[in-house]
């Protein structure tokens, strides 16, 4: 059963691997919704700890280190700094952004492991694991790739297939190969400690089934795991990067990253208190409030992407249940994935919008990104980010509706009311209706926020801005000023009260904008309880002119971003290209059979209905010949006329598109697939032979 009225909230956002920068998929999946929720809770006067950090162990770190020619420590230091800075710049308001390489995390993880070990929770098992004889080490799941038994993806990892999402064990892969050496791994015996999830299934089932209020995608994924039957999972690994196993004679073994990473939420809470107070004292109320009944209930909420559901809904709760003293997640509002311009976001293919680059290239547009990622959040199914949609939402929604309303209320107050909040006079029906709407919106928005429906909350926030716009359009203060200035006072008082509430209820999504509005309206320290109040702004309070909240984004800005995406992907593909291996050996006679000579292109035209072919007339010295050449995707007909070329003269004629082609023009293919003519270094005569 969900906790209905907690005393405080422990809200966590996924610990991301410190092996690369943050992209919009991470933000939409987890960090922006988490920040909205936390900002809403704080505004509602709730006690919250907002916890996150980087996961600095695990194989992805070691793989990245190898790729960049750095040590794992250098990799995590580099990316921790970058990730931390870009979250701060986007206004993600963590109370602590910690790291799993900190001593407090190593200690906490080892303590919990040792506790479970002493309670004999683990099952000790010697199994055969894949071992790379060339690299002389056991292969962690991510070091093995092979064919997925479910979808036949040839590049599935030992723990998961990224194409179909199946969770795998290395032994299930067909044709396994080591990513370290490329060789076929062998099986070798090793001892590890397993969490017996199979035996724990009834308890886990009771826990999950007690939360039928979870999002359908989350609850459904848990059910499918449970239905398949849980299997024991190793909580230690044969690897040299990570937290040493706190048991004797375990050299070369570390704690499984998915054992210790979620413990990172607990150790980050301690780290927060250490940074704040110099001691971890008081951490228990966030994780073990039951120890002291007077402390009241704590609600634990994990924000994650859908690829982490099993770890947060099954494995981590199972660990904590076995330990016995911890609260379990009350909710895990995982999002689905956000795609980008018609394709899956992919770090390896460099198909992503990177946060640190966005912040640099589109400065002061943090709220635009937060807005677009929320309006289009993959809450119930995958969604898609396009730059065109980004532009439209900015120009027609943020500029056209939200910014327009606030700007009109402020500017008209400057113009007609001396830049001070005017006094309301007698209310007409239309005024009463506007005030009734104003009073009702915050409650509706809060309900959406409480239920993790941030898209819906944002859509209600925009409805409130629309209500304000419509009110101004219907009451027309710019006309009323000529006949009835008292009426204008009433209208602008109401418009300003709506603006003030709008700033409060939109603060979780648009914190930078809300702060600007509150500066303009000279309010501070107001929070959710004040929202909807018809007298939130006192009469006579100054209303200051400000810069426009949002500005239009031009086509050129968007085109540049789209081009950049494609360029980055292409560059990435080129980097992955390798030179073709040399073909099988031939004899001189084989070569001598080829009659290669110099020719000049005299005429060229497109072949109707063919995408690739140009019809060329060439002079080969002794005669003129017609050649059909597959180069029209690379060259226009008029570009090639007059070119001297290398020509294979004695190739048997071929029929194409109903025409006969004689011989072949020789071209060089560049790394990116583009073509170049092979031309002699001096003006050799037509028919000159190539030997």
- Residue set of the binding site: 148, 151, 161, 164, 347
Output the smallest distance, CB 341 to Zn ion, in A: 24
Q: Which is nearer to Zn ion, 137 or 166 (CB)?
A: 166
Output the smallest distance, CB 173 to Zn ion, in A: 10
For residues 9-20, b (16+ Cβ closer than 10 Å) or e, as one string? bbbbbbbbbbbb
Output the smallest distance, CB 347 to Zn ion, in A: 19
Q: Which is nearer to Zn ion, 148 or 235 (CB)?
A: 148
Q: Which is nearer to Zn ion, 151 or 538 (CB)?
A: 151
Q: Which is nearer to Zn ion, 167 or 181 (CB)?
A: 167
Output the smallest distance, CB 577 to Zn ion, in A: 26
Measured CA to CA, the distance from residue 633 to residue 391 in angstroms comes to: 32
Output the smallest distance, CB 19 to Zn ion, in A: 23
Measured CA to CA, the distance from residue 652 to residue 630 in angstroms comes to: 17
Query: CB of 679 within 8 A of CB of 643?
Result: yes
Binding site for Zn ion (CB under 5 A): 148, 150-151, 153, 161, 163-164, 166
Q: Which is nearer to Zn ion, 162 or 595 (CB)?
A: 162
Burial status of residue 150 (CB atoms within 10 A of its CB: 0-12, 13-18, 19 or more): middle
Output the smallest distance, CB 155 to Zn ion, in A: 10
Measured CA to CA, the distance from residue 100 to residue 264 in angstroms comes to: 6
Q: Which is nearer to Zn ion, 166 or 414 (CB)?
A: 166
Measured CA to CA, the distance from residue 4 to residue 7 in angstroms comes to: 10
Binding-site residue positions for ATP: 347
Q: Which is nearer to Zn ion, 153 or 541 (CB)?
A: 153
Sheet holding 664-669, edge to edge: 624-629, 614-619, 596-606, 644-648, 664-669, 675-677
Output the smallest distance, CB 224 to Zn ion, in A: 15
Provide Rg for the chain, Cα atoms: 33
- Bridge partners of 13, per DSSP, are 303
Structure-token pair, residue 28: 């939409």
Query: CB of 513 within 8 A of CB of 547?
Result: no
Query: CB of 465 within 8 A of CB of 402?
Result: yes
Q: Which is nearer to Zn ion, 155 or 689 (CB)?
A: 155
Q: Which residues fall within 8 angstroms of residue 12, CB to CB, at 6 or more apart?
A: 34, 51, 52, 265, 300, 301, 302, 303
Query: CB of 267 within 8 A of CB of 102?
Result: yes
DSSP-assigned states of every residue in 582-621: PPPP--HHHHHT--EEEEEEEEEEEPTT-SS-EEEEEE-S
Measured CA to CA, the distance from residue 327 to residue 243 in angstroms comes to: 24
Residue closest to 166 by CA, chosen among 156, 176, 178, 174? 156
Q: Which is nearer to Zn ion, 167 or 610 (CB)?
A: 167
Output the smallest distance, CB 168 to Zn ion, in A: 8
Q: Which is nearer to Zn ion, 153 or 626 (CB)?
A: 153
Output the smallest distance, CB 154 to Zn ion, in A: 10
| Paired sense of beta strands 383-385 and 338-340, if any | parallel
Q: Which residues fall within 8 angstroms of residue 86, CB to CB, at 6 or more apart?
A: 21, 22, 355, 356, 359
Output the smallest distance, CB 674 to Zn ion, in A: 35
Q: Which is nearer to Zn ion, 308 or 629 (CB)?
A: 308
Measured CA to CA, the distance from residue 273 to residue 283 in angstroms comes to: 7
User: What element of type H or E holds 421?
Assistant: none
Rounded-to-10 torsion of CA 75, 341, 610, 635: -50
Binding-site residue positions for Zn(2+): 148, 151, 161, 164
Output the smallest distance, CB 293 to Zn ion, in A: 48
| DSSP collapsed to 3 states, 334-349 | CECCEEECCECCECCC
Q: Which is nearer to Zn ion, 166 or 201 (CB)?
A: 166
Measured CA to CA, the distance from residue 304 to residue 456 in angstroms comes to: 19
CA distances from 142 to 20, 32, 314, 643 (A): 16, 28, 21, 52
Output the smallest distance, CB 158 to Zn ion, in A: 13
């Amino acid at each position: 059963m969900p906790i209905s009225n907690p005393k405080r909230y422990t809200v966590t956002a996924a610990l991301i691997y410190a092996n690369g920068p943050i992209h919009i998929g991470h933000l939409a999946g987890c960090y922006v919704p988490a920040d909205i929720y936390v900002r809403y809770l704080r505004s509602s006067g709730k006690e919250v700890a907002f916890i996150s950090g980087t996961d600095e162990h695990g194989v992805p770190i070691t793989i990245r280190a190898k790729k960049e020619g750095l040590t794992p420590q250098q990799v995590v230091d580099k990316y921790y700094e970058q990730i931390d800075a870009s979250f701060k710049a986007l206004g993600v308001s963590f109370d602590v952004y910690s790291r799993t390489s900190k001593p407090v995390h190593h200690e906490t993880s080892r303590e919990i492991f040792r506790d479970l070990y002493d309670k004999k929770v683990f099952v000790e098992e010697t199994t055969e694991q894949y071992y790379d004889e060339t690299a002389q080490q056991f292969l962690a799941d991510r070091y093995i790739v092979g064919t997925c038994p479910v979808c036949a993806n040839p590049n599935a990892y030992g723990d998961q297939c990224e194409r179909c999402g199946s969770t795998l064990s290395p032994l299930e892969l067909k044709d396994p190969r080591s990513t370290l050496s490329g060789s076929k791994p062998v099986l070798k015996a090793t001892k590890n400690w397993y969490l017996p999830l199979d035996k724990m299934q009834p308890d886990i089932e009771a826990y999950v089934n007690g939360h039928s209020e979870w999002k359908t995608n989350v609850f459904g994924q848990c059910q499918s795991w449970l239905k398949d039957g849980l299997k024991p999972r190793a909580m230690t690994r044969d690897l040299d990067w990570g937290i040493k196993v706190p048991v004797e004679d375990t050299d070369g073994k570390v704690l499984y990253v998915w054992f210790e990473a979620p413990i990172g939420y607990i150790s980050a809470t301690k780290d927060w208190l250490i940074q704040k107070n110099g001691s971890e004292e008081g951490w228990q109320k966030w994780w073990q409030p039951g120890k002291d009944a007077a402390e009241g209930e704590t609600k634990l909420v994990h924000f994650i992407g859908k690829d982490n559901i099993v770890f947060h809904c099954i494995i981590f709760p199972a660990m904590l249940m076995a330990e016995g003293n911890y609260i379990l997640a009350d909710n895990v509002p995982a999002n689905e994935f956000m795609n980008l311009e018609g394709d899956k976001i992919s770090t390896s293919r460099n198909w992503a919008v990177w946060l640190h680059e966005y912040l640099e290239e589109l400065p002061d547009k943090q709220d635009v990104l937060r807005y677009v990622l929320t309006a289009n959040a993959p809450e119930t199914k995958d969604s898609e980010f396009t730059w065109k949609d980004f532009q439209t939402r900015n120009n027609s929604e943020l500029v056209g509706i939200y910014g327009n309303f606030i700007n009109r209320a402020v500017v008209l107050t400057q113009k007609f009311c001396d830049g001070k909040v005017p006094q309301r006079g007698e209310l007409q029906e239309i005024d009463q209706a506007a005030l009734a709407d104003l009073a009702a919106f915050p409650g509706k928005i809060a309900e959406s926020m409480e239920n993790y429906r941030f898209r819906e909350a944002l859509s209600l926030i925009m409805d409130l801005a629309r209500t304000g716009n419509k009110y101004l359009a219907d009451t027309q203060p710019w006309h009323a000023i000529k006949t009835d200035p008292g009426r204008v006072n009433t209208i602008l008082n109401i418009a300003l009260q709506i603006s003030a509430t709008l700033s409060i209820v939109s603060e979780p999504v648009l914190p930078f904008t809300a702060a600007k509005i509150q500066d303009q309206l000279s309010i501070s320290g107001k929070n959710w309880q004040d929202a909807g109040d018809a007298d939130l702004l006192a009469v006579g309070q100054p209303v200051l002119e400000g810069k426009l909240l949002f500005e239009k984004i031009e086509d050129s800005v968007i085109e540049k971003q789209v081009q950049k995406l494609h360029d980055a992907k292409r560059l990435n593909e080129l980097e992955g290209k390798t030179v073709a291996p040399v073909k099988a050996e031939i004899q001189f006679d084989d070569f001598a059979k080829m009659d290669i000579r110099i020719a000049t292109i005299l005429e060229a035209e497109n072949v109707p209905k063919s995408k690739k072919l140009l019809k060329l007339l060439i002079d080969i010295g002794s005669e003129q010949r017609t050649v059909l050449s597959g180069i029209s995707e690379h060259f226009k007909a008029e570009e090639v006329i007059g070119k001297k070329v290398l020509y294979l003269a004695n190739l048997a004629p071929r029929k194409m598109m109903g025409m006969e082609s004689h011989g072949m023009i020789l071209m060089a293919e560049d790394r990116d697939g583009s073509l170049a003519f092979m031309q002699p270094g001096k003006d050799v005569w037509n028919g000159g032979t190539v030997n």
